[in-house]
Chains A and B, each alone.
Chain A
Amino acid sequence: MKKQVTMVVRHGPLNTVRAAEALRAAVGYTLAPQRVTALLIGTGVCAGAAGLRPELVGQPEVAKHIETLKLLGHRVVADRPSHEALGAFPLHPAVELVDRAEVLKLLEESDVVVPY
């Protein structure tokens, strides 16, 4: 049976490797029969910014992981209240903006939640 795995990305991509690592692990989760959702929340929504190039400040890129998840039929979602609080900047086209109620529903329906 497929498990629903939700990776919660809580850190921005410019001052730590954790956002990139969380998304790398989320791509890795697709190597087992699992439905994977990467949830960008808090400062983590910055990882979903359009045109982001963390490599310019020596951090690993994140867009390739977001695009890979989308290509493989998995989801990358961003928490709307976090996004609005940080200035509602343009998001990568593969990132879906979701309301807090949907975030809660996603967490409730997940078999595994990985806060990272």
Chain B
Amino acid sequence: MKLGILLTTSPEHQNSTTALCVGRAALELGHEVELFLMDDGVTNVLDSRDNPVAGALAALQAQGAAITLCGSTCDPRGVTKESAVAGVVFGSQYDHAQIVHRTDRFLVFG
């Protein structure tokens, strides 16, 4: 099964941990996982000591999850390729639409 996850809240919110746990569990069961992060959700990828979620997202990515960000919501929040976890894709709402279309289930954490 292909699972899509939308995350729109910042790393302080419990949504991040919940989305990560769901994603990890799905991968361990052999499902494909794609995350799309937009609005404050893009700050989850900020690679800093103050953000433990970034490391967990990197680990999820290493397990096989694809992580795409809404590029236009990254700009006003200062999220750049240099400040983000390596390997995440700076995408657009086109990617969001395609994830919704191709996944069997789409979960929203926002």
Residues of A participating in the B interface, judged by any CB pair closer than 8 Å: 3, 5, 17-18, 21, 24-25, 27-34, 112, 114-116
Contact = CB atoms under 8 A, between A and B. Distances in A.
Interface string B82-107: 00000000001110111011000010
Given A18-B39, A21-B39, A25-B38, A112 B97 contact: no
Contacts of B101: 3, 32-34
Nearest to A16: B39
Interface string B33-53: 000001100000000000000
B97 A34 contact: yes
- Interface majority SS on B: helix, strand, loop or mixed? helix
Nearest to A113: B108
A24 B110 contact: no
A3 B6 CA distance: 17
B8 interface: yes
A29 B98 CA distance: 8
Contacts of B73: 21
Given A3-B101, A5-B100, A17-B39, A114 B6 contact: yes
A25 B94 CA distance: 9
19 contacts: A3-B101, A5-B100, A17-B39, A21-B8, A21-B39, A21-B73, A25-B96, A28-B92, A28-B93, A28-B97, A29-B93, A30-B97, A31-B94, A112-B100, A112-B106, A114-B6, A114-B100, A115-B108, A116-B8
Contacts of B98: 31-32
